[in-house]
Structure 1
Amino acid sequence: MDKADFTFDYTPMDYENYRNDNQMPLDLSHHVEDVCSEEIMCMLLLVVNVVIIVLGLVGNGVVIWIAGFKMKKTVNTTWYLSLALSDFIFCATLPLNTFYLVTSDWIFGQFMCKFTSFVMFLNMFSSIFLLVIISVDRCIAVIFPVWAQNQRTIKKASVIVFLAWVFSVSLSVPSLIFRDIQHHLGRTRCHNNYNSHDTHNSISICRFIFGFLMPFLIIIVCYLIIIFKLRRNQMAKSLKPFKIMTALIWTFFLCWLPYHTFVLAELTHGFSNEIIASGLKIGTSIASANSFLNPILYVFMGSDFRQKFKNSILSKIENAIGEEGHATSRYLSQPSSMDARSSTHI
């Protein structure tokens, strides 16, 4: 058997499989009677998963309803609607993995074994790609306001989102290829059955580069350009409307950093097998938490929370998404008028 990447592989059998890949004895028989309730970490992860499922489905469902049906369709609502759809789909498949966490027995068949892993990485790639798109969109609006005002259309935004999803699906395909089930001692495990260590290493590195490192480098460059441009134009106060976008980016970074750190540590054998196994279990749960945090950010950062406390939650989310759109509109209109005044002096 080949090494698993531990994506939602919380069962002790998978960690024994990992040790077997490093030429250590494989003995699964003493794990058959393991029960989740006997492990503190397992119970904590169970509670975390349940919270993610409930808040993720409700929160993202509300955002989808507001951005998709209650608000006027704009470029901005197109970005955030797609982001909420990605998180909602992931949270909808999480109950299957939570059941697997508790029982250590995958009863949902080979297709769902592949599909749940595929959805996790689809969520990872689509989320970060959308954050890159939004960052580039903000950057272009600040640098080329006149061009952006004429070229930013809902149709073009929809095409860009579609391409981002296509790219995300393409990078998530390895889960459909290498994810597999195995029957042993009356239980079924869902794991990654790579044909070689080189394949495992290549896929892990590819996920890190395209799903984490490169996107954040692009985002950082965009934000540095935005900050420099606005400060040079003495518009530093205009950075305030970017707080939601900044919070979304930092939340994604902090949630996914532990997972990628331990994946790379697994490849380099920088820690013991037990530390890597525990780190990947915790890292995967933290990464999953990103899917329910976005709607919370919309609520608490869309406008001053204390001033808007009497408003409904739905109004907060609508205001949050709307504020981002209004901010971009201001950047498109203010500089264009400045450019017009400048042109009359020539």
Structure 2
Amino acid sequence: MSYSSLSPLTGPNPTPDPDDENAVQNNYSSAIGALILSLVFLLGVPGNLFIVWSILARIRQRSVTTLLILNLACADGFLMALSIFFIIYLAMRTWIFGNAMCKILFYLCNSNMYASIFLITLMSVHRFLAVVFPHTLYRLITRKVVRRVILGTWVLVMVISIPSLVFRDVKKETDEMNRTTYLCAPNHTLRKHVRFQYAFETVAGFIIPYAIIITSYVVILKRLRETKFQRNVRNEKLILTIVITFGLFWLPYHVINMVQVCEEVSTFHVQTDMVYIRAVTSTLAFISSCANPVLYTFAGKSYIKKNGFAFMAKLFEGTLSDQTGTKSTRLTTYDNVRESNVDCQNPTVASTPENGNLE
């Protein structure tokens, strides 16, 4: 994603548009944008840092899902830290950080979009393997494999975000009062560049990942119904909530992306103010990076009174724990998945506390 709208809340535009400059220079829109980003910064940075601390300091045995949540929190927390640059941009209504920072910051924002959805997709695929192929997962999922997959994901993210480096530059603008402002804005010179960048980021960053996620959960829910092992449903809820929340925040942005692509390939034009529509959709997309700490807090509220600041670690241990094999280097499937296979043969086994019943 280009997060172009945060420059300042105007959205990615294929050609220079006077409305872009108006959004920067408008006191009202800039003030609202700066206020929203300030709230996002104050909530997102400490919230994601708390997740990272909870996992690193409080959890000794980290499951696959916990490792993925750790990486997701690092990505979101880093993006929230970058929001300070956009707050300054909106407050001053001119870009003061130079052309290199213009490219780098939007490149990092774009990388965050891909990293978030890819890590969420990996969570869903892991749950699919754990529920549908538990014995295969037991043999294949080692710490070395997990680290390589996560590292490969980050490398892929950095590569496919390169268009945001290419299609972004600082523009100099002079208004009728002879005042000079600098904008960090899209620099598409050809219509095909618009089609490529926004179609690619929507297909690679939303459509394909969500097709995988939806397919995984359809199979998971079907398998859970077949085994009639209801405790598994509890373990799906948190990940499924993350998936749905991310989709709700990002869907409007990608819809506008595809509308713009359609405008570039046809005579179709939307008779509305795209600048402010993009302002809303891109703000929602940015807010998504501070949503997960809130979700985890609500999910773990039953642990807060008893465990205090350790409630988040207790949440991850209680609903996302993997059973460790005899070798310390192995990450295996969840307790409840193993139990669900035993349950069909011996229903009493899964209900005993010794077998990991958390309820």
Partner Cα separation in structure 2 for residue 27 and residue 300 of structure 1: 38
Helix, strand or coil: the match of 1:112? helix
Q: Which moved more, 1:91-100 or 1:8-17?
A: 8-17
Partner Cα separation in structure 1 for residue 159 and residue 89 of structure 2: 26
Question: CA shift at 1:239, angstroms?
Answer: 0.8
Partner Cα separation in structure 1 for residue 218 and residue 139 of structure 2: 24
Question: CA shift at 1:210, angstroms?
Answer: 0.7
CA shift in 2, pair 1:12/1:84, >3 Å:
closer
**Which of 78, 86, 106 is the equivalent residue of 2:95?**
106
Helix, strand or coil: the match of 1:114? helix
CA shift in 2, pair 1:266/1:5, >3 Å:
farther
Partner Cα separation in structure 2 for residue 14 and residue 152 of structure 1: 40
**What is the CA deviation profile of residues 184-225 of structure 1, one whole-angstrom value per residue up to 9, with x for unaligned ones?**
232111011123110111110010001001111110110010
Partner Cα separation in structure 1 for residue 253 and residue 133 of structure 2: 37
Partner Cα separation in structure 1 for residue 345 and residue 142 of structure 2: 22
Question: CA shift at 1:95, angstroms?
Answer: 1.1
Is 1:221 the equivalent of 2:210? no
Identity rate of aligned residues, in percent?
A: 24
Is 1:8 the equivalent of 2:6? yes
Partner Cα separation in structure 2 for residue 323 and residue 299 of structure 1: 14
Partner of 1:136: 125
Partner of 1:69: 57
Question: CA shift at 1:111, angstroms?
Answer: 1.4
Contact 1:35/1:103 (CA < 8 Å) preserved in 2?
no
5+ unaligned residues in a row in structure 1: which ranges?
21-25, 342-346
Partner Cα separation in structure 2 for residue 13 and residue 320 of structure 1: 37
CA shift in 2, pair 1:228/1:111, >3 Å:
same
Question: CA shift at 1:104, angstroms?
Answer: 2.0
Contact 1:5/1:192 (CA < 8 Å) preserved in 2?
no
Helix, strand or coil: the match of 2:273? helix
CA shift in 2, pair 1:193/1:5, >3 Å:
farther
Question: CA shift at 1:6, angstroms?
Answer: 3.3
Partner Cα separation in structure 1 for residue 51 and residue 171 of structure 2: 38
Partner of 2:312: 317
Partner Cα separation in structure 2 for residue 184 and residue 191 of structure 1: 11
Question: CA shift at 1:236, angstroms?
Answer: 3.3
TM-score (norm 2): 0.82
Question: CA shift at 1:265, angstroms?
Answer: 1.8
Is 1:299 the equivalent of 2:297? yes
* Residue identity matched to 2:142: T
Larger relative helix fraction? 1
* Residue identity matched to 1:292: C
Q: CA RMSD in A?
A: 2.8
Partner Cα separation in structure 1 for residue 270 and residue 233 of structure 2: 44
CA shift in 2, pair 1:117/1:13, >3 Å:
closer
Alignment length, in residue pairs? 325
**Which of 163, 168, 180 is the equivalent residue of 1:174?**
163
Is 1:247 the equivalent of 2:241? yes
Partner Cα separation in structure 2 for residue 190 and residue 164 of structure 1: 28
Partner Cα separation in structure 2 for residue 215 and residue 13 of structure 1: 23
Partner Cα separation in structure 1 for residue 345 and residue 11 of structure 2: 68
Helix, strand or coil: the match of 1:84? helix
Contact 1:299/1:313 (CA < 8 Å) preserved in 2?
no
Q: Which moved more, 1:204-213 or 1:315-324?
A: 315-324
Contact 2:250/2:284 (CA < 8 Å) preserved in 1?
yes
Contact 2:6/2:86 (CA < 8 Å) preserved in 1?
yes
**Which of 326, 330, 345 is the equivalent residue of 2:321?**
326
**Which of 195, 198, 201 is the equivalent residue of 2:192?**
198
Partner of 2:43: 55
CA shift in 2, pair 1:228/1:11, >3 Å:
closer
Partner of 1:263: 257
**What is the CA deviation profile of residues 232-274 of structure 1, one whole-angstrom value per residue up to 9, with x for unaligned ones?**
0111342112111011001110111111111222222465475
Alignment of 1:271-286 (within 5 A): 272=270, 275-286=273-284
Contact 2:234/2:319 (CA < 8 Å) preserved in 1?
no
Question: CA shift at 1:68, angstroms?
Answer: 2.3
5+ unaligned residues in a row in structure 2: which ranges?
175-179, 323-332, 347-359
Question: CA shift at 1:13, angstroms?
Answer: 12
Q: Which moved more, 1:186-195 or 1:321-330?
A: 321-330
CA shift in 2, pair 1:121/1:79, >3 Å:
same
